[in-house]
Amino acid sequence: MGLSLIEISHRTKNFEAVMDEARSLVREILNLDARYEVLFLQGGATLGFYTIALNLMREGGKAAYANTGVWASGAIKEAKLVGQVDVIADSSDKNHSYIPKFEVKGDWDYFHFTSNNTIFGTQYQEFPKTDVPLVCDMSSDIFSKKFDANEFALIYAGAQKNMGPAGTILYIMDKEKLGKTGRKLPTYLDLLAHIEKDSMLNTPPVFAVYASMLTLRWIKANGGLQGMEDRNRAKKDCFYTELDRNGLFHGHSVPDSRSWMNPTFRLNDDTLGADFDKMWKEAGVSGIAGHRSVGGYRASMYNALPLESVQVLVDVMKEFERTKG
Ligand X SMILES: Cc1ncc(COP(=O)(O)O)c(C=O)c1O
Q: Which residues touch 80 (CB under 8 Å, ≥6 apart)?
A: none
Q: What angle do CA 280, 283, 288 make, to 5 degrees?
A: 35
> Nearest distance from residue 60's CB to ligand X, in Å?
28
Is position 71 annotated as part of the catalytic site? yes
How far apart CA 209 and CA 23 sit, in angstroms, is 9
Q: Which of 71, 108, 260, 280 is catalytic?
A: 71
The residue number with the shortest CB distance to ligand X is 44
Is position 218 annotated as part of the catalytic site? no
Is position 161 annotated as part of the catalytic site? yes
Q: Which of 141, 145, 161, 174 is catalytic?
A: 161
> Nearest distance from residue 280's CB to ligand X, in Å?
22
Where along the sequence are the contacts to ligand X (CB under 6 A)?
Answer: 44-46, 71, 114, 118, 137, 139-140, 158
Q: Which of 108, 109, 137, 141 is catalytic?
A: 137
158/204 with CB nearer ligand X: 158
How far apart CA 215 and CA 238 sit, in angstroms, is 24
50/320 with CB nearer ligand X: 50
Backbone φ and ψ for 85, nearest 5 degrees, come out as -120, 125
15/71 with CB nearer ligand X: 71
> Nearest distance from residue 91's CB to ligand X, in Å?
14
97/118 with CB nearer ligand X: 118
> Nearest distance from residue 51's CB to ligand X, in Å?
11
CA 231 distance to own-chain centroid: 17
For residue 106, give the H/E element and its range. Answer: none
How far apart CA 251 and CA 139 sit, in angstroms, is 22
CB 313 within 8 A of CB 285: yes
CA 122 distance to own-chain centroid: 12
Catalytically active residues are 71, 137, 161
